[in-house]
């Protein structure tokens, strides 16, 4: 029998997965800088030079992770040359995040459409549940008539995605909707009694105990009512019911931490019309007249918006792929704590300069 790897198709895909040389193509700043320090910290931000896979294990538990890493376009030194290698590139990062995430954590995963599609199975495998794909539409101005569609044979791309994931909460290895139904059934009570427990006509059975897409997370007060009812009227042999940690009562607060935060900004949909970064906002070498330092710098307003939507003041934001630390800068502006890492010394140097300059300007204001 022929060896599996000698089959033509497989041979091809194995070859495609060989690490590509990624030396330097995407670097906007060619001159290397050795930063004076490998860390920068103020009252709200802590950033360090190094591999975020390791550094993040020392950071406080994240409420928000803003991921803006490899795109498979040789966008920076270390990025892969196509999307096929992205799953391997992200695997150790996603594993590291999952070790520290809780059910309150939201992940915002920035990428190209195909980059996200390639990495999505890795995220799911590590416990991240897909919530929504948001499209950043940079508009026609982004291509400014410079694309030869006859040559590229497709529509010009003016978008990126920013995909919202939450870390799937599990109790006894079950996702929440499965666990709620299992606990109710374990109590021996008829399903319809859940409506009586919650003081509703039929919403408890229809929403909180549903096992399909109609499932709703019971608000903490409803959860406590179901818990109290099951423990008062359920089979005494199986008590306690609905106990997250084996101790009851008073689980409402704990239940509230079993899902991520979301405060939708008024008027927003999942399409974000916003021109690509240019002008003043781009951090440049030698002020406004110099070259852009990092080609992947993200718009501060969009990053601020996603952090605001998924956290409260005082919460912790992670930025594992710092670049110029846009998420850290945004987090500080809206009173969150931020932890970031950047592996490239030159980008780290300029990222810290951006953060210090911004702090100084804010002080002046
Ligand atoms: C797409 S850029 C991020 C740009 C950033 N969002 C901004 O607004 O400036 C990705 C950055 O991640 C950095 N990076 C790649 N692998 C890393 C790792 N393992 N740890 C820390 N930083 C990493 C790259 O050097 C690059 O600067």
pTM of the model: 0.89
Atom of ligand 1 nearest to the CA of 351: 9
Q: Which of 13-17, 36-40, 200-204, 242-246 has the weakest average pLDDT? A: 13-17
6 C-alpha to ligand 1 centroid (Å): 37
pLDDT tens digits, 99-117: 999 999 999 999 999 999 9
Q: Choose the CATH number for 40-169+260-364 among 3.40.50.150, 3.30.470.10, 3.40.50.300, 3.30.460.80.
A: 3.40.50.150
Neighbours of 280 (CB within 10 A): 8
- CB-ligand 1 contact for 298 (6 Å cutoff): yes
Best-predicted range by mean pLDDT among 134-148, 272-286, 300-314?
A: 300-314
- CB-ligand 1 contact for 108 (6 Å cutoff): no
Distances (CA, A) of 264 to 108, 116, 191, 306, 309: 14, 23, 33, 9, 6
pLDDT tens digits, 138-169: 998 888 777 888 888 999 999 999 999 999 99
Q: Which class for 201: exposed (0-12), middle (13-18), buried (19 or more C-beta within 10 A)?
A: exposed
* Cis status, amide bond into 250, omega within 30 of 0: no
Q: Write down the domain spans for the chain.
A: 40-169+260-364, 174-256
pLDDT value of position 14: 41
DSSP code of 237? G
343 C-alpha to ligand 1 centroid (Å): 7
pLDDT value of position 228: 95
What are the phi and psi torsion angles at 179 (to 5°)? -65, -40
b/e code 290-320 from CB counts within 10 Å (16+ = b):
eebbbebbbbbebbbbbbbbbbeeebbbbbb
- CB-ligand 1 contact for 68 (6 Å cutoff): yes
Max CA separation in the chain (angstroms): 75
Q: What is the CA radius of gyration of the chain?
A: 24
Measure the CA–CA gap between 180 and 184, rounded to whole angstroms: 6
Which residue in 257, 259, 203 sits closest to 226, CA to CA? Answer: 203
- CB-ligand 1 contact for 340 (6 Å cutoff): no
pLDDT tens digits, 65-87: 999 999 999 999 899 999 999 99
Q: Using an 8 Å Cβ cutoff, are 139 and 273 in contact?
A: yes
Q: Which of 24-28, 123-127, 281-285 has the weakest average pLDDT? A: 24-28
């Amino acid at each position: 029998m022929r060896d599996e790897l000698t089959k033509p198709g497989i041979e091809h895909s194995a070859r495609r997965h060989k690490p590509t040389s990624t030396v330097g193509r995407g670097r906007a700043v060619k001159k290397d800088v050795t930063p004076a320090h490998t860390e920068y910290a103020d009252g709200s931000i802590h950033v360090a030079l190094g591999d975020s896979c390791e550094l993040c294990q020392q950071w406080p538990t994240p409420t928000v992770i803003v991921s803006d890493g490899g795109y498979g376009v040789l966008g920076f030194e270390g990025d892969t040359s196509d999307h096929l290698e992205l799953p391997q590139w992200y695997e150790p990062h996603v594993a590291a995040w999952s070790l520290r995430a809780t059910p309150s954590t939201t992940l915002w995963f920035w990428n190209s459409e195909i980059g996200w599609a390639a990495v999505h199975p890795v995220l799911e495998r590590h416990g991240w549940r897909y919530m929504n794909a948001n499209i950043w539409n940079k508009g026609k101005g982004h291509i400014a008539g410079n694309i030869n569609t006859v040559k590229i044979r497709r529509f010009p791309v003016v978008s990126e995605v920013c995909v919202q994931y939450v870390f799937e909460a599990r109790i006894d290895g079950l996702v929440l909707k499965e666990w709620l139904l299992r606990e109710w059934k374990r109590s021996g009570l008829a399903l319809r009694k859940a409506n009586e427990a919650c003081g509703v006509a039929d919403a408890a059975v229809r929403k909180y105990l549903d096992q399909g897409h109609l499932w709703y997370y019971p608000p903490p007060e409803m959860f406590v009512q179901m818990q109290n009812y099951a423990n008062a009227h359920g089979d005494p042999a199986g008590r306690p019911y609905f106990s997250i940690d084996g101790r009851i009562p008073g689980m409402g607060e704990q239940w509230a931490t079993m899902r991520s935060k979301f405060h939708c900004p008024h008027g927003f949909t999942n399409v974000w019309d916003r021109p690509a970064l240019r002008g003043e906002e781009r951090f440049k070498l030698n002020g406004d007249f110099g070259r852009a330092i990092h080609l992947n710098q993200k718009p501060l307003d969009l990053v601020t918006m996603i952090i605001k939507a998924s956290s409260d003041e005082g919460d912790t934001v992670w930025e594992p792929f710092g670049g110029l630390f846009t998420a850290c800068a945004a987090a500080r502006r809206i009173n969150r704590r931020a932890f970031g890492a950047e592996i490239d010394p030159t980008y780290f140097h300029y990222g810290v300069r951006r953060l210090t300059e911004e702090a100084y300007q804010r002080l002046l204001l």
